[in-house]
Amino acid sequence: MEKSKVYFTKEINSESLIRIYEKLGVELTGKVGVKVSTGERGSKGYLKADLIGPLVKKLNGTIIECNTAYPGARNTASEHLEVAKEHGFTTFADVDIMDETGEFKIPVNNGKHLKYDLVGENFKNYDSILNLAHGKGHAMGGFGANLKNQSIGIASRNGKAYIHSCGQTEDPNLCWQVDYEQKDFIESMAEAAKSVADYLKENNKPIVYITVMNAISVDCDCDAHQGDPVMNDLGIVASLDPVANDQAFIDMLWNSTDPGHTKMMERVDRQEGRHITEYAEQLGLGRTDYELIEI
Q: Supply the pLDDT for residue 78.
A: 87
Q: Supply the pLDDT for residue 105.
A: 98
CATH architecture observed for domain 4-294 = 3-Layer(aba) Sandwich (3.40)
Give 254's pLDDT tier (boundaries 50, 70, 90).
Answer: very high
Q: Supply the pLDDT for residue 226.
A: 93
Query: For the chain, what are the domain ranges?
Result: 4-294
Q: Supply the pLDDT for residue 34.
A: 98
Q: Supply the pLDDT for residue 74.
A: 85
279 phi/psi in degrees, rounded to 5: -70, -40
Q: Supply the pLDDT for residue 70.
A: 75
Contact by Cβ (8 Å): 57, 93: yes
Rounded to whole angstroms, the Cα distance separating 241 from 259 reads 29
Contact by Cβ (8 Å): 183, 141: no
Residue 20 has pLDDT above 80, yes or no: yes
What average pLDDT does the segment 20-46 reach? Answer: 96
Q: Supply the pLDDT for residue 76.
A: 86
Give 138's pLDDT tier (boundaries 50, 70, 90).
Answer: very high
Rounded to whole angstroms, the Cα distance separating 88 from 85 reads 5
pTM of the model: 0.98
Rounded to whole angstroms, the Cα distance separating 191 from 107 reads 10
Residues 54-86: pLDDT tens digits?
Answer: 999 999 999 999 988 877 778 888 899 999 999
Give 287's pLDDT tier (boundaries 50, 70, 90).
Answer: very high
In this structure, of 2-11, 102-111, 116-125, 217-226, the range with the lowest mean pLDDT score is: 217-226
Q: Supply the pLDDT for residue 213.
A: 98
Contact by Cβ (8 Å): 196, 150: yes
Rounded to whole angstroms, the Cα distance separating 244 from 265 reads 18
- As a whole number, the mean pLDDT across the chain is 96
Residue 203 has pLDDT above 90, yes or no: yes
